Structure 1
Amino acid sequence: MSFQVEGKTAVVTGGSSGIGLAAVELLIKGGASVAWCGRDEARLLHSKDYILQKYPEAKVYTQSCNVLDKSDVTRFAEAVKSKLGNVDMLINNAGQGRVSNFENTQDEDWLKETELKYFSVIFPVKAFLEQLKQSDCGSITNVNSLLALQPEPHMIATSAARAALLNLTHSLSHEFVQYGIRVNSILLGMVESAQWKRRFEQRSDTELNWEQWTANIARNRGIPMQRLGKPEEPAHALVFLASPLASYTTGSTIDVSGGFNKHL
């Protein structure tokens, strides 16, 4: 199925691994020009090499960028416009979860979580907004978490910040409709990531392989599909919402949690 992104230009923040890189690859396969950024220079270079080896004709641009540094993001946006032209699709994908309950969450940790979840979206939106206004299919798509609607006591600060991001996404969808820019998000459940890989390497039961170990986690957490998601699965939802295929969808979310949601 075509996502109808051929000839379009997309930006993916946090695009050097995991869900972000999976979204980059889907967009390139669909014929889009893609820019992506990340803080880890080595990982960024590796991701670019990986893409160009598979898609040598792809139009790509990468740049090391801290999405919490406004001037850094502004420079990235200017470079993207210079290299690839105005952007049609912005996918905001940055930030890991913080494991802590109320008692062991320090005051500064609440601020750090809010900054990470909020300004990793606000700064890119500000930097690329004028470019998106020039597009005939402008879109902003945010990677969010099921925690926004289904908070976990052991991730209290992250849950609160995720709920704030969901609210912000909905507000922007209404404000930006005047510019023809759609704003949506996906809500992640438990997805395979570098974090889970590190935990697997430190597991106590070394007799279990990756599939068995993650399946046990999924069953114990009550995920009906009894497995963790794979990065390409939320990436498909992201690219769909970003693409012209979702032309009548704004202020919406797609739940990508394997049925883990407990709400209607």
Structure 2
Amino acid sequence: MDLLLRDRAYMVTGGSSGVGLATARLLLDEGANVITCARDGDKLATALAEASPDAQDRVVTVAADVRSRADVDAVVTAGVERFGRLDGVVNNAGGSRMAPRAETTLDDWRDELDLKFSSVLNTVDAALPHLRCSDAAAIVNVNAVLARQPESRLVATSAARAGLLNLSKSLSQELAPTVRVNSVALGLIDTGQWRRRYDQSGDPQSFAEWEARIADDRGVALGRFGHADEVAAMILTLLSPRSSYVTGSCLDVCGGVARYV
């Protein structure tokens, strides 16, 4: 099925690795133009060049911290100047803070909430004037199942994710009918973070055995971690004009780990 993304322009934050990189690459494969950013500009440019060497004329990469409105404004400006339009935004920048409440300082809380909220609010505000000019504008916020089923070992991230889910619903109502806003809620996805945790664990098992054990412990019905490409496919589906009657929704991409109805 043609997702009708060709020649449109999409901004992806956190595009140097994991879900962000997979999303940028899949957009390029669909014939779209991509504006993407990450704090490490050199790593970002290298990652995109390696991922899609034949599509560099359709990529704009900018070093930016999404917590800075000035940085985000520069990303949007660079993209619009290059492609003349902006049709969608994927808010992907973020991470997980592995710590229980007793080990989470107030500064940790502030940092976690700042990243989860500023990264979305800055991009929405910067992109909105251009999105309103599109005939199929869409925003996809990358979230986590933690938003609905918190974990005590990820207390600050769980709370921030819940707030982002609430914010996404509010944005979908505020920006309708000209801009659709949806979310994807991730479970255990095999990205750089999990690979680093495996390397640091010193576990003698292979990564496949290690991930299967964790998936079983966490109750993942499919018995494995997800892959970034599997998430990217769902993000593109929500960005697509084919999803023109979908807004305010949250799509779980979690292998069945969600325990809520």
- Of 214, 238, 242, the residue aligned with 1:241 is 238
How many angstroms apart in 2 are the aligned matches of 1:11 and 1:222? Answer: 34
Instruction: State whether structure 2 residue 18 is matched by structure 1 residue 31.
Output: no
For 2:109, what is the secondary structure of its paired residue? Answer: helix
User: Residue 19 of structure 1 aligns to which amino acid in structure 2?
Assistant: V
Contact 2:28–2:34 (8 Å) recurs in 1: yes
Aligned letter for 2:255? G
Tell me, in whole angstroms, the C-alpha distance in 2 between the residues paired with 1:204 and 1:52. Answer: 34
Identify the residue that residue 74 of structure 1 maps to in structure 2.
73
Gap change, CA 1:189 and 1:75, over 3 Å in 2: same
For 1:194, the equivalent position in structure 2 comes to 192
State the match for 2:133 in structure 1.
134
CA contact (8 A) 2:189 2:228 kept: yes
Code of the residue aligned with 2:66 in structure 1: it is: V
* Alignment check: 8 A CA contact 2:144 2:184 kept: yes
**Structure 1 residue runs without a partner (length 5+):** none
Matched, 1:211 2:208: yes
Amino acid at match of 2:254: S
Contact 2:116/2:164 (<8 A) preserved: yes
Cα distance in 2 for residues equivalent to 1:183 and 1:135: 14
1:183 to 157, 166, 181: 181
User: SS of the residue aligned with 1:202?
Assistant: helix
Q: 2:219 aligns with which of 218, 222, 229?
A: 222
Percent identity at matched positions?
A: 40
Q: Does 1:97 align with 2:96?
A: yes
Cα deviation code 1:49-103 (max 9, x no counterpart): 11442x3465111111110011111111111111111100110101111112222
Of 245, 251, 254, which residue of structure 2 is paired with 1:254?
A: 251
Please say if residues 28 and 55 of structure 2, whose CA atoms lie closer than 8 Å, have aligned partners that are also in contact.
no
Q: Give the conservation status (yes or no) of the 8 Å contact 2:25–2:48.
A: no
**2:17 aligned with 1:17:** yes
Q: Is the 8 A contact 1:52 1:58 kept in 2?
A: no
41-50 or 233-242: bigger deviation: 41-50
- In structure 2, what is the Cα distance between the partners aligned to 1:86 and 1:167? 28
What is the total number of aligned residue pairs between the two structures?
Answer: 261
Q: Distance in 2 between matches of 1:186 and 1:261?
A: 13
Runs of 4+ in 1 over 6 A off after TM superposition: none
Gaps (5+ residues) in structure 2?
none
1:153 shift after superposition: 0.8
CA distance in structure 1 between the partners assigned to 2:134 and 2:184 by the alignment: 22
Q: Aligned in 2, Cα 1:229/1:52: closer, same or farther, shift over 3 Å? A: closer
The alignment's TM-score, normalised by the length of structure 2, stands at 0.97
